[in-house]
Amino acid sequence: MKWSMLLNRLFFCCIPLIVQCYKELPNESLRHLAKFTDPERLAVNGTLMKPLLVERVSGTSANIRVREYIVQHFEDLGWHVELDEFTDATPFGEKQFANIIVTQNPDKPSRLVLAAHYDSMYQPDFEFIGATDSAIPCGILMNIAETLDDLLSDGSIHYRQKDKTVQMIFFDGEEAFQQWGPTDSIYGARHLAEKWESSIVTHPKKVMKNRLDQMEVLVLLDLLGTPNAQFPNFYRSTSWLFYKLIGIENRLNNQSILKTVSSKTGERLISMFNPNSFLTFMGEAIGDDHVPFLTRGVNILHMIPHPFPSVWHNRGDNADCIDQAVVENLAVIFRTFAAEYLELDPLPHNEL
């Protein structure tokens, strides 16, 4: 991802507001969802995260091993798994890439799409792990899937939404090999957005022309896991979802579910969401995997902190910079967000 600061370039994009009802879960359901947190799964040396925290540069065998690990995780859950494999020219010659697309119940027409990139930056001078960039975001997505899977299973009384499901995209080739630019960066996202634009989708109940139309919103996670992260509210079209996240953080906090995080100002929880950042509604300022989807009219929720973590693209971005409490808080916030968006309630009998 690249901080390009193209603020002077006006960007016109017609993004329709997603019109839907969004129901907040009762306090008991929030507490129940929080119980699905298994700290061992979210620890940097734990069973879920550890295999992700390795060098995994696109086109290398280590990248393929991480890809296989992610694929296996979703095959074990019984999700539909698809690889978008392609080759592209890079400053170091032709390379092979593969995006991983996983979908729970692919027959449902509309998708909440959660995404992160699984490749790590090429760095010839030292071992670059990219824990925040984006091993931890990938692990958080895998954890959302494993913790919500029982509720999502088709026919479950917990799952009221008939037309909506969750899809996750693990992008390959996000990082530039040499220098960030239009042909050296976001290889996977560029390939997939173009491919999906020319796909054809028909659904008996819903008018949609291609797979981009199936994406109600693309939630892209990047640079997560360090304390003091502050997310700007980048887009008008998804501002209401940004405020839902603020509400979730407050409600989880009031239920004493979120953990305190040690920070410069002491042991207390500071909101991760900053609606008053100078980047408010400046979504075009930061280049990342969302851009090829944004330019094709997809609604974007970009969960990337600004300022970037101090370890960004340097040797410090490894397991040591990751704060376990932050990862657990993010996991429960995005798990709750996905549950509320999809109208999943772990305690449906409590509803009126």
Ligand X SMILES: *[C@@H]1O[C@H](CO)[C@@H](O)[C@H](O)[C@H]1NC(C)=O
Residues that bind ligand X (CB under 6 A): 26-27, 43, 45-46, 250, 253-254
CB-wise, 87 or 350, nearer to ligand X?
350
Nearest CB to Zn ion, comparing residues 133 and 328: 133
Per CB under 5 A, the list member of 119, 133, 184, 317 interacting with Zn ion is 133
Q: Which is nearer to Zn ion, 134 or 147 (CB)?
A: 134
Smallest separation (angstroms) from ligand X to the CB of 289: 30
Torsion angle of C-alpha atoms 271, 234, 167, 331, degrees rounded to 10? -10
Of 43 and 304, the one with the shorter C-beta distance to ligand X is: 43
Q: Is there a catalytic annotation at residue 125?
A: no
Residues 6+ apart with CB under 8 A from 196: 210, 211, 212
Within 13 Å and on the Cβ side, how many CA atoms surround 78? Answer: 7
CB-closest chain residue to Zn ion: 133
Beta strands in the chain (DSSP E): 2-3, 80-90, 93-103, 110-117, 164-171, 215-221, 231-232, 262-263, 266-267, 273-274, 286-287, 300-303
Enumerate helices (H) and strands (E) in the chain, giving the number of each. 8, 12
Of the two residues 133 and 323, which places its CB atom closer to Zn ion in the complex?
A: 133
- Minimum distance of Zn ion from residue 159's CB (angstroms): 35
Binding piece for Zn ion, criterion CB under 5 A, among 127-135, 163-171, 182-190, 331-339: 127-135
Given the structure tokens 């697309």, which residue do they identify?
Answer: 101
Q: Which helix (H) or strand (E) holds 137?
A: helix 136-152
Q: Which does 133 bind (CB under 5 to 8 A by kind): ligand X, Zn ion, none?
A: Zn ion
Instruction: Find the shortest distance in angstroms from Cβ 27 to ligand X.
Output: 4
Contact 205, 221 (CB under 8 A): no
Catalytic residue among 133, 174, 284, 328: 174
Query: What does the alpha-carbon distance between residue 140 and residue 120 come to, in Å, rounded to a whole number?
Result: 16
Minimum distance of ligand X from residue 43's CB (angstroms): 5
Q: Tell me, by CB under 5 A, how many residues bind Zn ion.
A: 1
222 catalytic? Reply is yes
What residues make contact with Zn ion under the rule CB under 5 A? 133
Active site residues: 174, 222
